[in-house]
Amino acid sequence: MRTKELVKFIKERESIRLKKEAGKPRPWTKDPILGNYRFCNVHREDDRVTRELKALAPTEDANLWFWWVMARLFNKPRTMALLSNMRYMGKLTLNHEQMRKTLKEAREHGPIFNGAYIVSTNGVSMDKVDYIIDRVLKPLWAARKDLRPLQNQYLSGYHADLMQFDGLGSFIAAQVVADLKYVEPLLSAPDWGTWAAPGPGSRRGLNRVFDRPVDAPWRTDEWLAHLTQLRAALSMRDRLHAQDLQNCLCEFDKYERARLGEGRPKQLYKESSLCR
């Protein structure tokens, strides 16, 4: 396994974050790839958007899960601030039409979706706001009592529950799980540190670490077994849960593509970068 290269990447990326947050001047690294391009943090909880969304999230609310679904569909603090201020979040009734009006008015003044996550109408020809409200949020809200996380529930099981609904593919559902796992009852999930859902980048990243062809396919159970093996081999495993490691593999793949001349990361580093 190429654990040394992966660990070096992870430690240097974390070092950049610590230097920046300590107020030290640039450059924070001698690595030209990490210094010039945008990479998400080692720990997802350190990403700026996650911090800003968490500051807006309601507390001690049985429908917190629903708020985080909306938060990750839009993935934009400005949008969630507008919705939070309307004071219908987490209530027993949800004013869908007021939400529709607010969102459509807001997009006249700027984006209401964050382009970092791809949210589409899945081939349905309709306004994206209408699709999100009518095809995604309304059915979820109607099933809210059945979708509240339970004590002793597995992250894998809750991820599967969310994926039963339109608009919540594996990626978005996993992002919601990553937010909810820091509060009860999912904070006590039996697979809190060991579960993750693969994505294209982390599949490629795991291939690179295990010296497989970069586009070699994985069965999901096979991918997770190898992720578990890798996590056990890493010295920082106590702080690096499986979902953080999955994200690091995605970023490692991005780094390796740049290093090997296979392509460049899409975004240059900016002070206002979403992940920095």
pLDDT digits (tens, 9 = 90+) for 110-140: 999 998 788 888 888 999 999 999 999 999 9
Q: What share of the chain is helix, strand, coil (3-state, %, to 5)?
A: 55, 0, 45
Write out the residue range of the structural domain in which residue 239 sits: 3-36+193-259
Percent of the chain exceeding pLDDT 70 equals 92
Task: Considering only residues 72 and 90, tell me which one the structure prediction assigns the higher pLDDT.
Answer: 72
pLDDT in tens, 152-162: 999 999 999 99
Q: Cα(156)–Cα(197) distance, rounded to whole angstroms? A: 8
User: Are 7 and 122 in a shared domain?
Assistant: no
Q: Is 124 found in the same domain as 22?
A: no
Q: d(Cα 70, Cα 132) in Å, to the nearest integer?
A: 9
Higher-pLDDT residue of 49, 265: 49
For residue 211 the two structure tokens come to 């010296």
Which tops the pLDDT comparison, 23 or 83?
A: 23
Tell me the per-residue pLDDT of 84-110, one tens digit each, with 9 for 90 and over: 766 555 454 568 888 999 999 999 999
Pair 30, 149 in one domain: no
For the chain, how big is the Rg over CA atoms in Å?
19
Please tell me whether residues 53 and 171 are part of one structural domain.
yes
**What mean pLDDT, rounded, does the chain reach?**
91
Distance CA 12, CA 30 (A): 10
Q: What is the mean pLDDT of residues 235-253?
A: 88
pLDDT at residue number 273: 45
Task: Reply yes or no on whether the pLDDT at 236 is more than 80.
Answer: no
Regarding whether 161 and 54 lie in a shared domain, the answer is yes
Q: Clarify whether residues 249 and 167 are in a common domain.
A: no
Residues 53 and 176 in one domain: yes
C-alpha–C-alpha distance, residues 26 and 201, integer Å: 29
Q: Which of 33-37, 55-59, 116-120, 257-261 has the lowest mean pLDDT?
A: 116-120
Q: Residue 164: CB partners within 8 Å, gap ≥ 6?
A: none
**CA–CA gap between residue 48 and residue 274 (Å, rounded):** 6
- Predicted pLDDT of residue 266: 72
- Going by C-alpha positions, the residue among 199, 175, 178 that lies closest to residue 187 is 178
